[in-house]
């Protein structure tokens, strides 16, 4: 996968906008960054750090655990997990610019001793085998159509007994041709699984204790409110980031809200274990 193609998803354009958000929140460019301030801007999934707390609880993280976050984005969940639990976290991110911003944010939060940022593709990348006690993925699997390889790589990264927690999308109804096109362009997502396929493929990869929960209803509400609030804040957002960034994010947020509202696009969270 090219890291340029994935930029078709407009959330990933101009990711350094987080520094403007921090300045706007009173954190200067050379200041240390308080994590509780950063957490308002660095979580690229739904329900912010509440969702990360859920993952921490479901995998029962302990301070000595080694954690891998696949598709770590700006590093929001990785830093929060490290600060909250004391675990060491490897944050693997595909896009070089996102990886660089994430690394800088971690340094300025003073969490570099717990969070190690790696740039690469989970399908190819620098991930040791049978190493991690816990693996997380928040809204990354949607970008990876080769699910057989993805699940195998995740399985191999875990030590026996290790757990995986994922929040992602699935095909809930039957996508129309237009929805498929919107997913491919606007979300850089091809071929989402149905829930039955997901369970079967995880079993084939060797996972056990698979527990999948449909999150479509609460996520539909969340993304609708996110799109509404963003548009309502137009004046402030344009002043902070300019017209182009506003227009891109407004389009992205409203596209996701529409996909959920129309009912064929679903969200789920899952936990599974390497026996």
Ligand X SMILES: C[S@@+](CC[C@H](N)C(=O)[O-])C[C@H]1O[C@@H](n2cnc3c(N)ncnc32)[C@H](O)[C@@H]1O
Q: Is 80 an interacting residue with respect to ligand X (CB under 6 A)?
A: no
Binding mask 82-111 for ligand X (x = CB under 6 A): ----------xxxx--x-------------
DSSP string, 61-128: --TT-EEEEES-TTSHHHHHHHHHH--EEEEEES-HHHHHHHHHHHHHHT-TTTEEEEES-TTTS---
Q: Is 67 an interacting residue with respect to ligand X (CB under 6 A)?
A: no
Least distance from ligand X to the Cβ atom of residue 239, Å: 25
Least distance from ligand X to the Cβ atom of residue 149, Å: 10
CA-to-CA distance for 254 and 249, rounded, in angstroms? 8
Q: Is 79 an interacting residue with respect to ligand X (CB under 6 A)?
A: no
CA-to-CA distance for 97 and 29, rounded, in angstroms? 18
**DSSP letter (8 states) at residue 47:** S
Residues 6+ positions from 265 with CB-CB distance below 8 Å:
169, 171, 172, 175, 179, 183, 192, 216, 259
Considering only the stretches 39-47, 104-112, 127-135, 214-222, report the one whose residues sit in contact with ligand X under the rule CB under 6 A: 39-47
Least distance from ligand X to the Cβ atom of residue 99, Å: 8
Q: Judging by beta carbons within 10 Å of its beta carbon (0-12, 13-18, 19+), is residue 199 exposed, middle or buried?
A: middle
Phi and psi of 30, rounded to 5°?
-105, 5
Binding mask 122-161 for ligand X (x = CB under 6 A): xx--------------xxx--xx-----------------
Least distance from ligand X to the Cβ atom of residue 188, Å: 8
Which residue lies nearer to ligand X by CB, 10 or 274?
10
Q: Can you read off the two tokens belonging to residue 187?
A: 């979300």
Considering only the stretches 71-79, 126-134, 179-187, 233-241, report the one whose residues sit in contact with ligand X under the rule CB under 6 A: 71-79
Q: Is 43 an interacting residue with respect to ligand X (CB under 6 A)?
A: yes
Which residue lies nearer to ligand X by CB, 76 or 163?
76
Q: Where on the chain is the footprint of ligand X (CB under 6 A)? A: 1, 6, 43-45, 70-73, 76-77, 92-95, 98, 121-123, 138-140, 143-144
């Amino acid at each position: 996968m090219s890291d340029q193609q994935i930029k078709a998803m407009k959330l990933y354009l101009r990711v350094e906008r987080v520094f403007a958000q921090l300045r706007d929140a009173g954190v200067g460019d050379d200041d240390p960054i308080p994590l509780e301030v950063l957490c308002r801007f660095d979580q690229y999934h739904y329900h912010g750090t509440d969702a990360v707390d859920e993952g921490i609880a479901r995998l029962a993280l302990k301070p000595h655990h080694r954690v891998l976050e696949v598709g770590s984005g700006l590093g929001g969940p990785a830093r929060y997990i490290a600060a909250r639990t004391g675990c060491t976290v490897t944050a693997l991110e595909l896009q070089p610019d996102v990886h660089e911003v994430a690394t800088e944010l971690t340094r300025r939060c003073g969490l570099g001793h717990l969070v190690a940022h790696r740039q690469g593709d989970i399908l190819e990348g620098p991930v040791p085998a049978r190493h991690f006690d816990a693996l997380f993925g928040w809204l990354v699997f949607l970008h990876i159509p080769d699910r057989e390889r993805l699940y195998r790589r995740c399985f191999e990264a875990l030590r026996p007994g290790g757990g995986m927690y994922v929040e992602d999308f699935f095909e809930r109804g039957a996508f129309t041709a237009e929805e498929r096109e919107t997913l491919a362009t606007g979300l850089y997502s091809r071929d989402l699984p149905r829930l039955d396929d997901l369970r079967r493929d995880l079993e084939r990869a060797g996972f056990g204790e698979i527990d999948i929960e449909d999150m479509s209803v609460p996520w539909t509400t969340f993304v609708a409110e996110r799109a509404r609030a963003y548009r309502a804040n137009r004046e402030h957002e344009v002043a902070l980031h300019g017209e182009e960034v506003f227009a891109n994010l407004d389009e992205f947020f409203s596209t996701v809200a529409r996909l959920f509202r129309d009912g064929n696009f679903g969200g789920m969270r899952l936990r599974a274990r390497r026996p």
